[in-house]
A = this chain, B = another copy of it.
Amino acid sequence: MHGARVRVELDPPYEVRIGPDVRHEVASATSGRSLLVVDQNVVERAEPLLVHVAQAALVVVGPGESAKEFSELEWLLSLMAQSGLDRGSTVVALGGGATLDLAGLAAALYMRGIASVQCPTTLLAMVDASVGGKTAVNLPEGKNLVGAFHQPRAVFADTRYLATLDASEFACGLGEVVKTAVIAGAEAFERLEQTAGALLARDEPSLVECIADCVRTKARVVVSDERESGPRKVLNLGHTFAHAIEHVAGYGTVPHGVAVGVGVALALHASRELGLLRDATLPERVERLLATLGLPRSLAELRAKHAVLLDPGALIVAMRSDKKTRDGSPRFVLVEELGTVRWDLALERELLARLLG
């Protein structure tokens, strides 16, 4: 079975390897004394797929979003010091996005930056967290409020792990896949509509192709704007909504990718309401794709499925403390057409209240 390689042309450049069993190549990308930071979910459910790096210390974190508490960062950094890591050492992260975010930030901060190798094990992390160098932990005041840009030395997306995910975990990665396809353009979006069935069945060649598509799109955007001063913000499509949903529901209640899927649908509705959207049928087309992929299409479906209230007023308050805020007014990424996306747009409170009602 074949894999794919995508080169990310940052300085220094690095490669994302995608495919079955690429985890066996991880050790070749490490140097010095290594620390393997492993997601508790991987230990519990994918133990035969553990990565082996000679003489590396191993630490288990998480599971899930609990790995991103600020106290975990302190604990991990102390452990790195106790393990004798120095400037030539490597932190290898194996797990979902939260593990990658935590370990990547710890690598960014330890001695002001040591090498990081990222091994995403969930679909969400493969298409999202593994490219771009964004790392972060949460504060009680908001998600991802504390972080750094720290590009990994290499990324290994071993598709074997995807078979170990339960249906809901797998589906939630598809939310980011939909978002990325809207950003990529009409061709990628149509390809996704056509392969949606094969993806849901976890057909491995389709998965490799889909992940490589997403990574390519994300790499292209990130290279144009490493520090997110402008163009990179397109990747936040759906995220102002999604972060507010996750925050108000309580982190961990609604999976990120699921929130992003609904956020993308909301962004499209907002785009149509503002007269920005050229193809007025796109919101419903995106909703159909979300449904095919087993994802909630709307806040109403989300509220019912996850038994959460998600009060519109509370969502608006949460948006004000989002990173994408300027002078207290939340900013949104909106859509003109597939492949043409605008950022830093404000929405009137009235329209917002209607969308979130």
Contact = CB atoms under 8 A, between A and B. Distances in A.
Interface in A45-89: 70-71, 74, 77-78, 81-82, 84, 86-88
Nearest to A81: B141
Nearest to A87: B323
A141 to B, nearest CB: 3
A81 B228 contact: no
Interface in A109-146: 109-113, 134, 136, 139-142, 145-146
Interface residues of A, number: 38
B111 A81 contact: no
| Copies held by the complex | 2
A32 interface: yes
A142 B81 CA distance: 8
Interface of A is mostly: mixed
A328 interface: yes
Interface string A158-186: 00000000000000000000000000000
Nearest to A228: B112
Given A78-B139, A81-B139, A142-B81, A109 B323 contact: no
A148 interface: yes
A151 to B, nearest CB: 13
22 contacts: A70-B77, A71-B74, A74-B139, A77-B146, A78-B140, A78-B141, A81-B139, A81-B141, A81-B145, A81-B321, A86-B327, A86-B328, A88-B327, A109-B147, A109-B148, A110-B146, A111-B145, A111-B323, A112-B134, A112-B147, A112-B148, A113-B227
